[in-house]
Amino acid sequence: MVMVLGLVFTVAQPMQTHAVSELDKVNQELKKLQQAMKSAEKKQRQAQATIKEAKADKERTAAEINDIMAKINNVNKEMMTTSQQIDQTEDKLRDAATQLEEATQRVESRSQLLDARLRLMYTNGFVSYLDVLLDSTSFSDFLDRVDMLKSVVGQDKDILADNKRDKALVIEKKKQVEQDLKEVKFLYVKMDQTKKELDSKEKQKEVMVASLTKQIEESEEISEDQEKQLMAFAKERARLIEKQKSFKSKYKGGKLGMPLKSPFRLSSGFGPRVHPVTGVKGKMHTGLDMAAPKGTPIYAAEAGIVIVAQSVSGYGNCVIINHGNGLWTLYGHIRDGGIKVDKGQEVKKGQKIAEVGSTGQSTGNHLHFEVRVNEVPKNPVGYLNL
């Protein structure tokens, strides 16, 4: 049987060569187009993801810029305050310098006065002091005058000591103000540095925003480009489908190939089922039921184009092949995962297309095989070498 089928196939081949190769070409082009469309869609999705990411980045960066600008504002305010502190401290330092100068002068003049008195008393000035003493009217007056002179010198000494203490305090105070000034100035320098850092950070972020904006624009351009590509693909695909539809398959009549090549049992024939007891005619059976083990290979009965390759209610997993000239063959109850062809695919006579199963309205593993002419079911027996 297989040999005979092989012979039929070989004889039929030369007649079909031209048409089949043309159909193959159309199918290959379709497949290529589908792949190209898929890759174009993927690229577009990627571009859109890029845009989304870049937009989020841009928003984030803009928020960061706002943050930095707020920080710069704060630093500016702090710098103004610190600058005022510097001015105030410098004023204080100038005051302290004036005070120090005054204290120094006081010490100087008091010291000079004391020197003068002492010189007057103990050296050249002794005569004048003696004069003062000699002018005394009595001995007790003389003693009073001596005491008075001593006391004047003593007061001068005390005042000088006080002045020296004052001067030391002013020096201490000036030192403190100088330290304060140093600290405030250091603070200012630090703030200035912070501000410069923030400025440069802000500039960096602005550059980033600009580059993100550019990236978004470019990505959007790519998307438009790919959309155009997609439309071109779709148009080309529609054209090819039209070409495929108008293609005339080679069925010119004659026997079909057996859909099962291994042993099977005809479990139900074509036509209205008859009740086994009453003989009453029941529901019409539109095909042949061929019982065979699950997984038994199913072969295309004739060359053609697969028009259905999916689950159909009642039929379960189902394949329909269009052989041209209005002739279709149908294969039902295929096991899950047992469909081996795609919709739109061209198949050769005797090519494995599926495997026997029991999906849909079925109680056991079998192939439900139909032959239809212009969609009307015909008895397959007349088409098969049974």
Q: Note the residues at the interface with Zn ion (CB under 5 A).
A: 289, 368
Q: Nearest approach, Cβ of 54 to Zn ion (angstroms)?
A: 59
**Nearer to Zn ion by C-beta: 6 or 293?**
293
**Nearer to Zn ion by C-beta: 58 or 333?**
333
**Nearer to Zn ion by C-beta: 137 or 363?**
363
Q: Nearest approach, Cβ of 315 to Zn ion (angstroms)?
A: 9
For the four alpha carbons of 26, 29, 30 and 31, in that order, the dihedral sign comes to positive
Q: What are the distances in angstroms from CA 372 to CA 27, 35, 322?
A: 24, 33, 10
Q: String of b and e for 294-322 (b: at least 16 CB within 10 Å)? A: eebbbbbbbbbbbebbeeeeebbbbbbbb
**Nearer to Zn ion by C-beta: 231 or 376?**
376
305 contact partners, CB below 8 Å, separation of at least 6: 23, 244, 247, 249, 321, 322, 344, 345, 346, 347
Please identify which residue in the block is written with the tokens 């105030």: 88
**Nearer to Zn ion by C-beta: 250 or 368?**
368
* CB distance 172 to 99 below 8 Å: no
Q: Considering only CA atoms, which of 324, 347, 342, 321 is closest in space to residue 332?
A: 321
Q: Nearest approach, Cβ of 247 to Zn ion (angstroms)?
A: 30
Q: Nearest approach, Cβ of 361 to Zn ion (angstroms)?
A: 8
Q: Nearest approach, Cβ of 333 to Zn ion (angstroms)?
A: 8
**Nearer to Zn ion by C-beta: 289 or 355?**
289
**Nearer to Zn ion by C-beta: 156 or 355?**
355
**Nearer to Zn ion by C-beta: 349 or 368?**
368
Q: Nearest approach, Cβ of 357 to Zn ion (angstroms)?
A: 13
Q: Considering only CA atoms, which of 63, 59, 55 is closest in space to residue 220?
A: 55
Q: Nearest approach, Cβ of 225 to Zn ion (angstroms)?
A: 52
Q: Nearest approach, Cβ of 260 to Zn ion (angstroms)?
A: 14
User: Around Cβ 203, how many Cβ atoms within 10 Å?
Assistant: 12
- Nearest residue to Zn ion, scored by beta-carbon proximity: 368
Q: Nearest approach, Cβ of 268 to Zn ion (angstroms)?
A: 6
* CB distance 347 to 384 below 8 Å: no
User: Around Cβ 129, how many Cβ atoms within 10 Å?
Assistant: 16
**Nearer to Zn ion by C-beta: 47 or 288?**
288
Q: Nearest approach, Cβ of 322 to Zn ion (angstroms)?
A: 21
Q: What are the distances in angstroms from CA 234 to CA 5, 34, 35, 36, 332?
A: 40, 9, 12, 10, 32
Q: Considering only CA atoms, which of 293, 290, 295 is closest in space to residue 338?
A: 295
Which segments of the chain are extended strands (E)?
A: 265-268, 271-274, 281-285, 288-291, 297-299, 304-312, 316-324, 327-334, 346-347, 352-355, 366-373, 376-378
Whole-number Å distance between alpha carbons of 138 and 213: 111
Residue 332 phi/psi, 5° resolution? -115, 170
For the four alpha carbons of 314, 318, 323 and 324, in that order, the dihedral sign comes to positive
**Nearer to Zn ion by C-beta: 6 or 271?**
271
